A and B are shown apart, each in its own frame.
Chain A
Amino acid sequence: MSRLDVRKTYKLYIGGEFPRSESGRSFPALDSTGAVVARVARASRKDLRDAVRHARTAQAGWAGRSGYNRGQILYRIAELMEDRFETFVSQVQVADPDRRRARRQVEASIDMLVWYAGWADKFAQVYGNLNPVAGPFFNISAPEPTGVVGMVAADDSALLGLVARMAAILVPGNTVVVLASESRPMPAVTLAEVLETSDVPGGVVNILTGHTDELIPWLAEHMDVNAVDASGATSDQRRLIDEGAVHNVKRVVGGDPLTRSPYTIASFTETKTVWHPKGL
């Protein structure tokens, strides 16, 4: 008799824990033929608000770590993704069965993390500077994290879009609440399991699976979210985000979710300038 396999429950990732949705809902994840491959937790407004609360609580500690330490943790995520390489490939293949393309996407995701890991202790050296003000003052401008960032992951990229933007947001010390791809949610859940074992403190990354359109307004209007990464949003979703952002003057960041750039990091920072006199 063949052995019956044990299936994984696909849950949310909030504050370093894996709850089901408080709403008790789930939704089907489909493969490229339309067959149901798993049922995935469907996050509610309450789940989202919990996630933001945890992200806020974790933010000061994450930003307070050295760039070297954040870099090592991002690198550790890459190490453990490499360890789960085949799992990610098979989950990327759920939506796109081409194995070579799936492998390339997982490889690119791991290399993307390594690339951003290196920025954590260098970004301020490129983006900050001494200002030669006309007076006896020491004057320096340096980037600081914006705070809590909401992120709408690209729906048509199972893994790379999610990893690339998440890494850019984490580098300078932000924490993030991710709305995972609605049509390809499984790699996001596996990524959450990697994060939980990669020395990433609980609450630094929170990943919600669910209906993106349902959650976007709550995310965009939330008064304790400082910025929203809308690079993965459709133009209709982008309009909702832009309108919600007005409530507390959120920064809304667009761009191509699959490319990498230190300017993406810069989009999630605030420049702080410090003056100090020089004299006897």
Chain B
Amino acid sequence: MSTELEGRKADVVAPRIDWSYATSRESTDIVSIEKRYGLFVDGEFRAPKSRKHYESVNPATEEHLAEVAEAGPADVDAAVSYAREAYESEWGAMPGAERAKHIFRIARMVQERARELAVLETLDGGKPIRESRDVDLPQVAANFFYYAGWADKLEYAFPGLDPEPLGVAGQVIPWNFPLLMLAWKVAPALATGNTVVLKPAETTPLTALAFAELTAEAGLPPGVFNVVTGAGETGSHVVGHPDVDKVAFTGSTAVGKIIQHQLAGTDTRLSLELGGKAAHVVFEDAPLDQAIEGVVNGIFFNQGHVCCAGSRLFVQENIHDLFVDKLKARLATLRVGDPLDKNTDVGAINSREQLERITELVDAGVSEGAEMFQPACDLPSRGFWFVPTLFTGVAQSHRIAQEEIFGPVLSIMSFRTPEEAIEKANNTPYGLSAGVWTSKGSRILWMADHLKAGVVWANTYNKFDPSSPFGGYKESGFGREGGRHGLLSYLKGPR
């Protein structure tokens, strides 16, 4: 079966063409950042009772952007009590059709201010403007639009379930898709009649604060949506608050376990969307050039700061060398640098801390015996950067095959049979997502049946839609976000 493939020599070498583009920088004039932000509580910005602030920086330049409040226990207390009051007095009892119109209005206002929010997202988080503009913001608006429509149709969502909200939702979100993760959490919570206390990630609070301002402008009743900024300690106050009915967390598996432990023995409802170590499985009959693009997108999208990043690549043995050569050639054409440049493919690493973690794991990959490849690449002198990296000769036991790196690093392994691919793909504690590349439809569906992952992409990767549920098996968490199923995390009912 492989005679034809054996004849296909890897004729790809490092390209001689100069791929550099003229700089095309998105203007930041559209964004105005306050010098100092308070907490958004009861529909307005207030100075924190803690009297503490911290600094948010642009990871691409290490420049100071703003001072942001660090909410202490008293601040979280106040936010939760206003959220409770708004739930009891207004939002929880509001007819679904009126709630729907509030959320539709938010969706429209996000669309109106999409570019401004995209630039702000890129400034605060370091992701390429091409992604914040073309992926994050359209998806943010779409999520609010989608869930707005559910607010007055909940009785049709689940047969026999009387759709009742839970109350106050405490939501803690990560820094990789700051506003999109906000939308994933806030839209279904509001649609089902809950009120929200949101804790954005420490390093990326600015778009959540801009969004808070937008909700006030939209006329959302005060207290329905509250933002408490801060680091892990603030998050812990939100999660452990006795008057919070529901906790939703997206972040690392390590922190997820701490939260699960913190809530053990309480009645607080919990959903967790945690880490991943997704397998990307490429069969010999796959459309190879499309698979190359899919694999590159799978791991280098958003600098690999993606919980469902396709960070393990399994290539069928007889095309392994060819595929790796093609992949190396493609890597050399990736543009790493200024996130505000519209041509940039890979932006800045979100923080110094994350850069250190990536570096540590990559060093472990080298010392454990895997072979590293990095294309020649000029990096800016300031800011946090990591060159797109491949490892070949990776063993199942290597740390880079088992631990989530959350950076632009791909570990490549091989397999011979579909059974072996399944065995290896499922061999991590995670189970968030997986990718399959083959031209055989029945094999796609067989693989999908056997992969222990909450999302399986076939001949595509990293596709998201508000109507499509997302979430993991095993230590990647529980509960689903998105789609009809995403409503269940915010409704009372038998469990």
Are A278 and B104 in contact (CB-based, < 8 A)? Answer: no
Are A72 and B145 in contact (CB-based, < 8 A)? Answer: yes
A68 within 8 Å of B (CB atoms)? yes
Min CB distance, B245 to chain A, in Å?
26
Please tell me which stretch of B12-20, B169-177, B437-445 contacts chain A, meaning at least 4 of its Cβ atoms lie within 8 angstroms of it: B437-445
Are A279 and B484 in contact (CB-based, < 8 A)? Answer: no
Min CB distance, B412 to chain A, in Å?
23
Are B152 and A115 in contact (CB-based, < 8 A)? Answer: yes
List CB contacts (< 8 Å) of B191-228 with chain A.
Answer: none
Our pick among B100, B142, B157, B445 for the contact of A126 (Cβ within 8 Å) is: B157
Our pick among B97, B104, B443, B467 for the contact of A122 (Cβ within 8 Å) is: B467
- How far apart sit A271 and B418, CA to CA, in the bound complex (Å)? 34
- How far apart sit A71 and B153, CA to CA, in the bound complex (Å)? 14
Min CB distance, B114 to chain A, in Å?
14
Min CB distance, A198 to chain B, in Å?
14
Chain A residue nearest to B148 (CB atoms) is A118
- How far apart sit A115 and B155, CA to CA, in the bound complex (Å)? 13
Q: Which residues of B contact A126 (CB under 8 A)?
A: 156-157, 484
Are B100 and A277 in contact (CB-based, < 8 A)? Answer: no
Chain B residue nearest to A138 (CB atoms) is B445
Q: Can you offer 8 A-B residue contacts whose CB atoms are under 8 A? A: A68-B146, A75-B104, A118-B149, A122-B484, A125-B467, A262-B156, A278-B449, A279-B445
Chain A residue nearest to B445 (CB atoms) is A278
Are B146 and A121 in contact (CB-based, < 8 A)? Answer: yes
B37 within 8 Å of A (CB atoms)? no
Are A279 and B97 in contact (CB-based, < 8 A)? Answer: no
- How far apart sit A117 and B443, CA to CA, in the bound complex (Å)? 37
Q: Which residues of A contact B101 (CB under 8 A)?
A: 114
- Which residues of A come within 8 Å of B, CB atoms? 67-68, 71-72, 75, 111, 114-115, 117-122, 125-126, 138, 262, 276-280
Our pick among B142, B156, B445 for the contact of A276 (Cβ within 8 Å) is: B445
Do A276 and B441 contact each other (CB < 8 Å), given the known contacts A125-B484, A126-B157?
A: yes
- How far apart sit A68 and B442, CA to CA, in the bound complex (Å)? 30
Q: B414-435 vs A: 1/0 string, CB under 8 Å?
A: 0000100000000000000000
Min CB distance, A124 to chain B, in Å?
9
Q: B90-104 vs A: 1/0 string, CB under 8 Å?
A: 000000010011001
Are A119 and B149 in contact (CB-based, < 8 A)? Answer: yes
- How far apart sit A75 and B146, CA to CA, in the bound complex (Å)? 12
Do A118 and B150 contact each other (CB < 8 Å), given the known contacts A71-B145, A277-B445?
A: yes
Are B97 and A115 in contact (CB-based, < 8 A)? Answer: yes
Q: Which residues of A contact B157 (CB under 8 A)?
A: 126
B483 within 8 Å of A (CB atoms)? yes
Min CB distance, B446 to chain A, in Å?
5
Are A280 and B442 in contact (CB-based, < 8 A)? Answer: yes
Min CB distance, A164 to chain B, in Å?
14
Q: Which residues of A contact B467 (CB under 8 A)?
A: 67-68, 121-122, 125
List CB contacts (< 8 Å) of B131-175 with chain A.
Answer: 142, 145-146, 148-153, 156-157
Are A118 and B100 in contact (CB-based, < 8 A)? Answer: yes
Q: Which residues of A contact B418 (CB under 8 A)?
A: 280
List CB contacts (< 8 Å) of B22-71 with chain A.
Answer: none
- How far apart sit A115 and B449, CA to CA, in the bound complex (Å)? 36
Q: Which residues of B contact A280 (CB under 8 A)?
A: 418, 442-443, 446
Min CB distance, B416 to chain A, in Å?
13
Min CB distance, B311 to chain A, in Å?
26
Are B446 and A122 in contact (CB-based, < 8 A)? Answer: no
Min CB distance, B1 to chain A, in Å?
13
Do A125 and B445 contact each other (CB < 8 Å), given the known contacts A71-B145, A280-B418?
A: no
Q: Given A122-B150, A278-B449, list of 15 further CB < 8 A pairs? A: A68-B142, A75-B145, A111-B97, A115-B97, A115-B152, A118-B148, A118-B151, A118-B152, A121-B146, A122-B153, A126-B484, A276-B441, A277-B445, A279-B442, A279-B443
Min CB distance, A6 to chain B, in Å?
33
Are A122 and B145 in contact (CB-based, < 8 A)? Answer: no
- How far apart sit A60 and B292, CA to CA, in the bound complex (Å)? 33
Q: Which residues of B contact A118 (CB under 8 A)?
A: 100, 148-153
Q: Which residues of A contact B483 (CB under 8 A)?
A: 125
- How far apart sit A67 and B104, CA to CA, in the bound complex (Å)? 16
- How far apart sit A115 and B483, CA to CA, in the bound complex (Å)? 17
Chain B residue nearest to A75 (CB atoms) is B104
Q: Which residues of B contact A117 (CB under 8 A)?
A: 149
- How far apart sit A277 and B484, CA to CA, in the bound complex (Å)? 27
Q: Which residues of B contact A68 (CB under 8 A)?
A: 142, 145-146, 466-467
